[in-house]
Structures are given as C-alpha cells and as structure tokens.
Structure 1
Amino acid sequence: MTDISQTIYDTLPYRPCAGIMVLNRNGLVFVGRRKGGPEHVDATHVWQMPQGGIDEGEDPYAGALRELYEETSIRSVEKLDEIADWLAYDIPRDIVGEAWKGQYRGQKQKWYALRFTGNDSEINITAPGGGHHKPEFIDWRWVEMKSLPDLVVPFKRPIYEQVVASFSRLA
C-alpha cells in the first residue's frame, strides 16, 4: 500500500460523487456487494448503496440516475428526497495511492432517496446498463435501513449514519 505524507494528503481534493438510496415498496434498501478494491478490510463490510462519480458539468441528480443505471440497470424510480448539503469522507491515507490513481483524498457526495417502482427482475448487476464498464457488484439484496452503517467499510460509516438519519422517515 502507498502511504503518502499528511501534507500531500491534506491538499488533495474530494471527488464529486452521487450516492443513491433506493427503497423498495416495503421500505427496504438496495445494497450491492462490492467486487473488490483497496478499501476492503473484511468480508462483512463489503456492502454499499450505489454511488459514483459525477462528470464535470453534470447535474448531480442526472449523475445519480446515470450511476444507478450503470451499476444496477435500475431506471424505474421516483425521487423521494435529497440531502441539501454535500457529505464528505476521507479514505484511509494508506490507500490513497491505489484509489482513483491518487488524485483524491475521498469523496464529497450528494445523496438522493429514490423509490424503486419496478420489479426485482429489472435489477441486473452482472450486465448493468450502459455496458461501458465492468460490474461493480457481485451480489445484491434488500436490507433494513437501520442496518446500513454496519455493512459498509468503517471509514464510510459516518456518512451512512447521516444518510440513514436524513431518510429514516421514508422507510
């Protein structure tokens, strides 16, 4: 793992990103099991909600819908809410050189809550929409919202706690 100096780390920007909480009709939340990555610490904390980078000049909500489709093939959604502020997290310093080619210290995320109005058969993580990248998830499931912070890698836990607090009334 590449460990960078604190000075360099502190000057790195945050990667703009959209995070998507997809709730089904029963109030359960979609999570995907990550395929891999330098941030994985164990087999328990590999689940997360869909998220991904926002392209330069792209509207954050449009980016969220694009990322959701590219990771899950989900298009049948209704917007329920969004968190007004950007939420940021730092990745551990020892993996900065491996994640995003060392260009970012973490992500600043704009979060949206969406109601899934389709059928589970619409969800396709093995050949997701867009077809221009490899799948990010190797499995998926619906979970209770309150369990989300315990499923994600520890450095993302504070963000998930804020997202759950903001959207808990929607479950």
Structure 2
Amino acid sequence: MTVGHPHILPGYRPCVGLLLLNANGEVFVGRRLDTQDAWQMPQGGIDPGEEPRTAVLREMQEEIGTGKAEIIAESDLWRHYELPASLARRVWGGRYRGQAQKWFALRFTGQDADIDLTATPHVEFDAWQWVALDRLVDLIVPFKRDVYLEVVDEFAPLIRGAAPR
C-alpha cells in the first residue's frame, strides 16, 4: 500500500490535500455532503501507482469540477491524522485508522462559475465558499485541525502573497 510513498505509516490511507487560493488570497472550502456542517479543503486518495501531483489535479476535478488552477507549492512532508474510532470502523471498509496526506497549494485561475460541485457522479460537497485564512481552521472538524494548522503555517507566505496589496 505504501509503495512509492515510504513516509506513510502502516494503517494510513495515502491521500492528497489541496489548498486552493483565489486572487484575493482566500481559501476554498466545501461543506461535506455526508456530515452535518463539516467544512474542509478538497482531499482524496492516491490511486495505486499514481503520483501525488497527478492525484491532486484529479481530485480537484472530481471534487470541485474544475481543472482551472496551477500548482504553486508542494509540501515536503506527509501529514497524518487519525479518524475518530466511530468513523474508522465505517469508512474505507475499516482498513485504515486515518490518512497520510501530501498537501499542495494551488492558485485558482478560473472564475467562480467554473466550480461545479456536481460535475462527477460521486458528489462530495453540497456547498462551497472562499474563506479568509484566519477563519479557515475554525470551520474544520476537530480531528483534522492540527493538520490544517500545520498546512496553513507552511503555506502562509504564499497565501499572504496572493492577497491584493
């Protein structure tokens, strides 16, 4: 399972996460369809044999229905988080205790109208918004917050650099 990704601990699902920035330096978040009022940045599993850079662009297309973005940074780290026990038993057939995520920062190059949450049959989000960096972590479910804090800290110079002067 971790072939090609030696930094992933056993029992964790290989995954990518994407921090998508608009021209105002705001971050894209979607509200999960399957969870009451839980917001997150797009993320998803890495297919066997797939490179993380390829996976992040595929996941963006699948989850938010657009390919209009460019990768501007890739984390050097794999970040791990654990699912709450009740979720770990239900999702992914109970095979994983959590996810190992490789995060990317991307600059959105399209218009808001290019985002289509229903572009693929497997809809993940029922709503979306651009949020200011200082609001991002507060919207996220508690078990993912530490990872989000680390991602925000790592990419903060890029995020602030994207904001208008």
Q: TM-score range by the shorter chain?
A: 0.7 to 0.9
- Verify the 8 A CA contact 1:12 1:105 in the aligned structure 2: no
The structure 1 residue matched to 2:95, chosen from 103, 112, 117, is 103
Task: Give, in angstroms, the shift of residue 122 of structure 1.
Answer: 0.5
Unaligned runs of 5+ in 2: 1-8, 160-165
The structure 2 residue matched to 1:140, chosen from 104, 128, 131, is 128
In the other structure, the counterpart of 2:4 is none
Distance 1:95 1:49 in 2: 19
Task: Give, in angstroms, the shift of residue 12 of structure 1.
Answer: 6.1
The structure 2 residue matched to 1:26, chosen from 12, 24, 27, is 24
Q: Does residue 114 in structure 1 map to residue 114 in structure 2?
A: no
Give the partner amino acid of 1:148.
L
In the other structure, the counterpart of 1:72 is 64
Q: Does residue 158 in structure 1 map to residue 146 in structure 2?
A: yes
Deviations 1:97-140 (A, max 9, x none): 11111010000000000000111111000x22xx3x32100000
Distance 1:115 1:54 in 2: 21
Aligned residues between the structures: 151
TM-score (structure 1 length as normaliser): 0.84
Cα RMSD over matched residues? 1.4
Deviating above 3 A after TM superposition, structure 1's stretches of 4 or more consecutive aligned residues are none
- Verify the 8 A CA contact 1:12 1:103 in the aligned structure 2: no
Unaligned runs of 5+ in 1: 1-10
Distance 2:86 2:33 in 1: 20
